[in-house]
Amino acid sequence: MPRLWSETIDAHRREVRDAILDATVALVEEHGLLSVTMSQIAEASGIGRATLYKYFPDVETIVHEWHERQIGRHLQELAAARDRVVGAPERLFAVLETYALIAQGSRGHHDSELAAVMHRAHRVAHAENEVRRMMKELLKDAVDAGMVRGDVPLDELATYCLHALSASNRLPSKTAVRRLVEVTLRGLRPE
């Protein structure tokens, strides 16, 4: 098969997958996970049921793949925020703010049956470890720069940050999220 043809087919498959994932999550958010059928997903995606089954065996598998895609995007956002600025305090602030905004944006997913299915995945534990590792590295750099207290172990400081900022999923605005980030940062400062 010619390379151009192969690339075109691969791109088409990615587009179909993305359409299926997006349609499924929209249906789940509207009707609830247990109410969504493969027929509804096929119709909302604009494909036939037989085609849908070539991609996914059931609704739960689709939801898991959508969640994996989201996790990957979130990790990329955090890395981009970290790499966008220079200086330990600036990098820490950028990642904390991005993490909090991601938490705020996922507000609807935490109060539903969707969250129960999504958070059973092994990939979630891997992503949490990756975020914790990134946070500890940023905190170490900030401690070394004298901007963050050094009397508390890095693992505890990372836990503090992540748990404090998870409250963002209850906040009504970006302004409120930024205030929470500032309060969290104040708790990190040396005495």
> Average pLDDT over the chain, rounded to whole?
90
Q: Provide the sign of the torsion angle of the four alpha carbons 126, 130, 135, 137, taken in this order.
A: positive
> Which phi-psi region, left, alpha or beta, contains residue 80 (left: φ > 0; alpha: ψ -120 to 50)?
alpha
pTM, 2 dp:
0.81
Quick one: CATH architecture of 1-57? Answer: Orthogonal Bundle (1.10)
Distance CA 150, CA 190 (A): 7
Domain ranges of the chain: 1-57, 59-191
| 97-129 tens-digit pLDDT | 999 999 998 755 544 566 666 656 566 788 889
Structure confidence at residue 129 (pLDDT): 92
- Per-residue pLDDT band for 33 (boundaries 50, 70, 90) equals confident
Quick one: CATH architecture of 59-191? Answer: Orthogonal Bundle (1.10)
| 62-79 tens-digit pLDDT | 998 998 899 999 999 999
